[in-house]
Every structure is written in C-alpha cells, then in structure tokens.
Amino acid sequence: MNSSLNAARRRRELDEVRSDVVDVLVVGLGATGAGAALDAASRGLSVAAVDAHDIAFGTSRWSSKLIHGGLRYLASGQVGVAWESAVERDALLRFTAPHLVSAHPYLLPLTPAVPRSMAASLMAGYRLGDALRAAARTPRHLLPGPSRLAARRTLTLAPYLRAEGLRGGLLSWDGRVVDDARLVVALARTAAAHGARVLTRCRALALAGDGARVRDELTAEEFDIRARAVINATGVWAGELTPSVALRPSRGTHIVLRPGALGALHAGLHLPIPGERNRFALVLPQADGRVYAGLTDEPLDGPIPDVPEAPESDIAFLLDVLGTALDHPLRRADVAGAFAGLRPLLDTAGAPASLGGRTADLSRRHAVLRSPDGVVTVVGGKLTTYRRMAEDAVDAACPHARPSRTARLPLVGAGPVRPGTPGRLARRYGSEAWAVRELMREDPALAEPVALGITRAELVWAVRHEGALDADDLLDRRTRIGLVPEDRAAALPAAEAALAYS
Ligand SMILES: Cc1cc2nc3c(=O)[nH]c(=O)nc-3n(C[C@H](O)[C@H](O)[C@H](O)COP(=O)(O)OP(=O)(O)OC[C@H]3O[C@@H](n4cnc5c(N)ncnc54)[C@H](O)[C@@H]3O)c2cc1C
C-alpha cells in the first residue's frame, strides 16, 4: 500500500474509521505510538492511529536526537536498560533506518575539572559501552571504539575549547538521528504503507477497552472509533486519558546556537556539570550547521502544557556550564533559539523519596500497564527504544497476534540511494531523495532554498507525502526551521506557498 500521507487520504480514512471496527486503536503519534501502529499493522492487524495535533508533536521532537547505547544506564547499574538500548541502536543503524541514523563522535575534554581518576573510570565506561556494541553485533565500522586524544588533536576537533590546562580528550562514538521528528514521520508512513490509518488533528476525549470518543480538531465534530484493543501512547499526557497512570514529568531544555557559534566544531562535546556526579552537558553539532546544547533536568509541577517553554533560568544554566570549558564564553545574544521537552517518567512509588525526589535519578525504563477498563498504556523509555516499547505494547494489547516483525523491517526511505544524490537529501530522504529531486526537475522554481539549505520542493513533498496539513507542520516538524524564531518568520511565506502549490 501507498506510504503517502496527505489531506485527501486523511479525509477518506476518517470516513472509513467511523464505520469499521479496527483491531487496534493507537492514541498518540510520537515515536512510541507511531512505532506501535507500525508494529501492529505489520503483524497484519487493522489499525487506526490518532494524534490530537500532528505526528511528532510531543516529546519526540524535543529530544537530544541521540540513539544511544545506554552508557549512562550502565553507570547507574541499569544493565538491562543499557542492553536494550544497544540492541535497538543496532536495529536502527543496520536495518530499519540506516538513512536517518548514523554514528557521531563525542569528545570529553580533559580539563582541570576532570581529575585523572575520573578520566580513567570514564574511559573504562566507554570500553564497557564498546563491549555492549560488540555483544549487540554492531560492526565497528558503523560505530568505532573509544580512544584517547592528545590536547592538540582535541583542539582541532573543538577549537573553542579552553586550551589552558587541557590534557587531551576522550573520544567516543554513539548513534544519532538526523532529526527525531523525521524518524517519527518515517514510522507513521511505514505504518500507513502497511495499511494503518494515520489520522492527525484527532483528539481522543475518552478511552475504553473497546474504543475511544474522538474529536476532529479541524471540524470540531465528535465520533467514536471502535476497536478490539486500545493502546494509550500519549507520553507525558497519558494520565489525562488513563488516570491510574501516574507520571512525574521532568523538563529538559536545549539551546540552539547559530552555525559557526562554536567555530569549526567537528565532534559533539560531553562537559561535566559542576557539582554533579556522572552528569554531563551535551554540545551537539547538527547536520544543518546549527549547534544544540543541553540539557537540564527539572521536575515539572502542575498542568502539562502542549508545548513546554524553555525558561531563562535553564538557558542561563546551560550558558554557565558551557562557559566552564570554552575559551570564548557564549553570551545570551549567541542563543538563537531554545526548546524544552518533558520526559514521561513514571512515578514509581517509593523511588522518588528514596532518591531524594530527583527526576534525574529516576529509572528511564518503559512500562506497559493495563488499566481495569482494558486500555494498555505504554510510557517511559526513550526514543532509542521506541520499537521495543511498541512491540511490548502490541504483545500486551493483542496477545493472540503473530510475533512482531519490526526488528528487521526497513522504514520508508531505508533502501539504496541513487548514485549522485546530494548528501543532505540522502541523509533526510534516503532512497526517496531522487523523487524530491524529480520535483525540482519538473519545476526549477522548487529548487530555491528556503532556509538551512532546505528547498521549496521539500515543503511540497511534505504536503503531498508526509502528512503536513499547515505551515506549523512544515516549519516545526517536517523541517526544524522553526527552532529559530527569525528563520521561522522568514520561511513562513514559502510554507504557505507550498501548501497552496500542492
Ligand atoms: C529533553 C529530552 C531529551 C531527550 N533526549 C533523548 C535522546 O537523545 N535519545 C533518546 O533515546 N531519548 C531521549 N529522550 C526521551 C524521548 O524523547 C521520549 O522518551 C520519547 O520521545 C517519548 O515518545 P512518546 O511517543 O512516548 O511520547 P510523545 O512524543 O510525547 O508523543 C505523545 C503524543 O500523544 C499526543 N497526544 C496527547 N494527548 C492526546 C490525546 N488526548 N489524543 C490524541 N493524541 C494525544 C501528543 O500530541 C503527542 O504527539 C529525551 C527526552 C527529553 C524530554
């Protein structure tokens, strides 16, 4: 079946779901829900999957974009979580999304804040992480091992580091997705290719074991979707639909620096957070030239916003941490944008008190919970482990279904890339890049860049095939132009033109 999502398909499938009974209704189209829709549809089940807003509207688009092997969890003794991460990273790198996920180098500068004993134990940790890589069968050419660098080489990779007192650096490698929202769109489209009905702007108002009351947010019309099984994959909002699920959200903020703000940065950075054990700030150069730096971990009390705000206090904190390692301290004016996401951490009774109430220390493992009305909620976990979460949720919701097939199921775009395809397009579209180029050939005006090298053709492609329904979908999720407010304002007319063109 066709993987293209667009307004016409949405209209048609909305009509269909009103009269059908589906095997599985998935609520929420983040990585977990889109993954569950794919997992169920590829087992041959009929699926409807709804989101109140858009694909990747929630936490999934605010991540650090690391597809990580779980090193942090090893350090805190959560070996099972680390192993699961390493296995899922392997699946993404080798089989399911090799066009979107690749290895990136990270440098831990050996500054005076990193004593020799700490450097030795960090290196031992990296080696353990490399052993997990080998056990998960990820070849070394896809994910190189760690090494120690001299100070000169360290400064070549990160020229803005403070040279004074620098003893060198520890270089390690981990997976990263080019854009978290693109991974979720690829999941949703692959689910659609297996027959799932993927319906954005459809808010679940109430759930039961046999379906949901849903409101079409474009028309305000309410209707029922009847289902044999219901999966609540609404992340940090899960408790609003299933009150027995208690969450303890924590806010993570990243700042966005303009291309070049940290010089010619050739590796990500791990910078120790002063006064903390085993917590590091991350500096993450992106394929589009911007640099993200994060991240905070602050418990959130009160109502859960649709789009969390990054407070000035978080931005100041991150600038301070970067200032501990840089030769040219950054100023507030260097911050072009900021974003925050809410971690859907489970409030496991007893753990918060015993850990002093720190969300940074709560387990990052996922949970699959069945409530008395029969709804299965899947929550917690990570972007990296979305596939395993999805498999566990479908196993729980549909115990008689055939086994999951997703561990080796390539996502849309995972096929061979035609020779001569520009690298930027190949990294975002994989085997579909030629079709995006074809649009530019048919109408050369579509080759015009909008921002960050993104062309008008890509916006038109997103409307025709990636389910973008309005300018917000285009600027904030199908592309990430919107992370910098001035870039967003400049690109808005192009987004509106793409909607009219399509
Ligand atoms: C700052 C930060 C950094 C992170 N970095 C990483 C990282 O680098 N690597 C990693 O592996 N993990 C990372 N994580 C964790 C990871 O991002 C999350 O665990 C994961 O994205 C959660 O996905 P989800 O699909 O469960 O939830 P979400 O992505 O939040 O999806 C839930 C969806 O449900 C929808 N929804 C809500 N209510 C309703 C309703 N009533 N009806 C219909 N739809 C509804 C929302 O619109 C949303 O789209 C990070 C998390 C944070 C906060």
- The pLDDT tens digits for 406-432 are 999 999 999 999 999 999 999 999 999
Which pLDDT belongs to residue 357? 42
| CATH value at residue 115 | 3.30.9.10
**Chosen domain end from 342, 361, 387:** 342
> 453 alpha carbon to ligand 1 midpoint, in Å?
27
pLDDT at residue 356 tops 50? no
Are 148 and 22 found together in one domain?
A: no
Q: Tell which wins on pLDDT, 287 or 185.
A: 185
Between CA 93 and CA 85 the distance in angstroms is 12
Cis peptide before 295 (omega within 30 of 0): yes
Mean pLDDT of 397-404: 97
Residue 89 lies in a domain: no
Are 469 and 491 found together in one domain?
A: yes
Are 163 and 186 found together in one domain?
A: no
The total domain count for the chain is 3
Range in 9-18, 221-230, 241-250 the model is least confident about: 241-250
DSSP assignment letter at 5: B
Are 230 and 256 found together in one domain?
A: no
**Which neighbouring-strand residues pair with 109?**
169
Other Cβ atoms within 10 Å of 377 Cβ, number: 26
* Domain limits for position 430: 423-501
Are 330 and 267 found together in one domain?
A: yes
Cβ density class 466-494: b for 16+ within 10 Å, e for less: bbbbbbbbbbbbbbbbbbbeebbeebbeb
3 lines ligand 1 (CB under 6 A): no
Ligand 1 nearest atom to the CA of residue 344, by list position? 19
Residue 93 lies in a domain: no
**Chosen domain end from 408, 432, 447:** 408
Are 160 and 274 found together in one domain?
A: yes
Residue 118 lies in a domain: yes
Cα–Cα–Cα angle for 408, 411, 412, nearest 5°? 150
Are 330 and 470 found together in one domain?
A: no
Mean pLDDT of 261-278: 92
**Ligand 1: which of 68, 315, 382 to mutate, most ligand atoms within 8 Å of CB?**
382
237 lines ligand 1 (CB under 6 A): yes
Tokens 């890339």, residue?
A: 417
Ligand 1 nearest atom to the CA of residue 295, by list position? 1
393 lines ligand 1 (CB under 6 A): no
Ligand 1 nearest atom to the CA of residue 214, by list position? 42
pLDDT band at 438 (very low <50, low <70, confident <90, very high): very high
Candidates 453, 452, 421, 454; CA nearest to 438 is 421
What string of DSSP letters covers 349-362?
A: TTHHHHTTT-GGGS
Nearest CA, atom 48, ligand 1: 58
pLDDT band at 364 (very low <50, low <70, confident <90, very high): low
Please give the mean pLDDT across all residues of the chain: 94
229 lines ligand 1 (CB under 6 A): no
Range in 32-46, 214-228, 273-287, 406-420 the model is least confident about: 273-287
Residue 299 lies in a domain: yes
Are 55 and 160 found together in one domain?
A: no
Which CA distances in Å does 426 have to 4, 314, 343?
Answer: 19, 35, 31
Are 253 and 240 found together in one domain?
A: no
Are 147 and 252 found together in one domain?
A: yes
Residue 335 lies in a domain: yes
Cα–Cα–Cα angle for 248, 300, 340, nearest 5°? 110
**Chosen domain end from 342, 369, 387:** 342
Are 329 and 365 found together in one domain?
A: no
Are 319 and 450 found together in one domain?
A: no
Residue 176 lies in a domain: no
Residue 266 lies in a domain: yes
Which pLDDT belongs to residue 61? 98
213 lines ligand 1 (CB under 6 A): no
| CATH value at residue 404 | 3.50.50.60
Angle of helix 386-397 versus helix 31-41 axis, rounded to 10:
50
Residue 379 lies in a domain: yes
Which CA distances in Å does 147 have to 141, 168, 176, 266?
Answer: 15, 11, 19, 16
